[in-house]
C-alpha cells in the first residue's frame, strides 16, 4: 500500500502509518539534511533511482534512533512502516562539524553482512545487526519484535526468497534462532 504524505506541510507534526504502508520522502532544500524521529515502531528506509522500479534497503530506524542523514541526490527515498509507526520528519540545517549520516552507517553495516560468503553466517549476521540496532535483551535471548518477509531479507542479504526460507528453516532446526510466528518475533539465544 502506498500512502503519499506532504512532509513540508506536516513538518514537525507526528504522522502515523500502519504496518507496510509506504511514502515517498520529499527532497529537502539545498543545504539541508533530513531528521526522522520515530516516536513508536520501526521503519525501513529504501532508495531507488527514478528509472528503476526496484527499491533497495538502505537503513532501518526505530524509537531509539536520532536518524539524521543527507538526502542522496541520485535516489528517491521511500519510507516503509515495518510495524505500526508514528514519526516526525524535519529538514534541518547542516552543522559545520556534524558529518554523521545514519544512512551511510547502515549501508556500511549491510555491506559487511552481504559480503559474508556462507549464507547461514550471512543470515545470522543480518539478524544480529537488526537485533543489536532494533531489538532488546530478554531472559530468553536477544529479541526482535517484528519479522520481515523472506523476499525482503533476500533483497538485503543478496540471495533468493526460497534460499532464505530454507536457510531460516535450517537455523530453526539447529536451534540457532527461534521464531514465534504468532507474535512475529525472532529470538537469538544468548550463549
pLDDT digits (tens, 9 = 90+) for 90-149: 988 766 556 689 999 999 999 999 999 999 999 999 999 999 999 999 998 999 998 899
Residues 122 and 69 in one domain: no
Measured at the CA of 78, the angle between CA 8 and CA 67, to 5 degrees, comes to 75
Local structure of residue 26 (DSSP, 8 states): P
Domain end marker among 104, 130, 160: 104
Evaluate whether residue 1 is within a structural domain: no
**For the whole model, what pTM was predicted?**
0.84
Evaluate whether residue 110 is within a structural domain: no
Local structure of residue 169 (DSSP, 8 states): H
Beta-bridge partners for 186: 144, 179
- Per the structure, the complete domain to which residue 43 belongs is given by 7-104
What CATH number does the domain containing 157 carry? 1.10.10.10
Please count the structural domains in the chain. Answer: 2
Q: What is the pLDDT of residues 16-34, one digit of tens each?
A: 999 999 989 988 888 789 9
CB atoms within 10 A of CB 179: 16
Evaluate whether residue 179 is within a structural domain: yes
Q: Are 84 and 18 in contact (CB under 8 A)?
A: yes
Which triple of cell numbers denotes residue 85? 509507526
Evaluate whether residue 75 is within a structural domain: yes
Q: How far apart are CA 142 and CA 158, in angstroms?
A: 24
Amino acid at each position: 500500500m502506498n500512502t503519499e504524505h506532504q512532509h513540508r506541510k506536516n513538518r514537525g507534526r507526528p504522522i502515523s502509518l500502519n504496518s507496510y504502508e509506504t511514502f515517498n520522502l520529499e527532497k529537502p532544500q539545498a543545504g539541508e539534511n533530513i531528521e526522522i524521529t520515530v516516536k513508536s515502531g520501526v521503519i525501513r528506509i529504501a532508495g531507488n533511482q527514478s528509472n528503476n522500479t526496484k527499491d533497495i534497503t538502505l537503513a532501518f530506524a526505530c524509537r531509539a534512533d536520532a536518524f539524521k542523514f543527507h538526502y542522496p541526490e541520485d535516489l528517491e527515498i521511500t519510507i516503509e512502516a515495518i510495524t505500526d509507526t508514528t514519526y516526525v520528519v524535519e529538514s534541518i540545517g547542516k552543522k559545520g562539524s556534524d558529518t554523521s549520516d545514519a544512512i551511510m552507517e547502515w549501508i556500511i553495516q549491510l555491506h559487511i553482512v552481504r559480503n559474508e560468503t556462507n549464507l547461514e553466517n550471512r543470515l545470522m549476521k543480518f539478524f544480529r545487526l537488526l537485533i543489536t540496532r532494533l531489538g532488546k535483551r530478554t531472559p530468553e535471548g536477544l529479541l526482535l519484535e517484528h519479522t520481515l518477509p523472506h523476499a525482503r531479507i533476500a533483497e538485503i542479504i543478496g540471495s533468493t526468497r526460497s534460499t532464505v526460507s530454507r536457510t531460516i528453516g535450517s537455523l530453526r532446526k539447529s536451534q540457532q534462532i527461534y521464531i514465534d510466528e504468532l507474535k512475529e518475533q525472532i529470538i537469538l539465544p544468548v550463549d
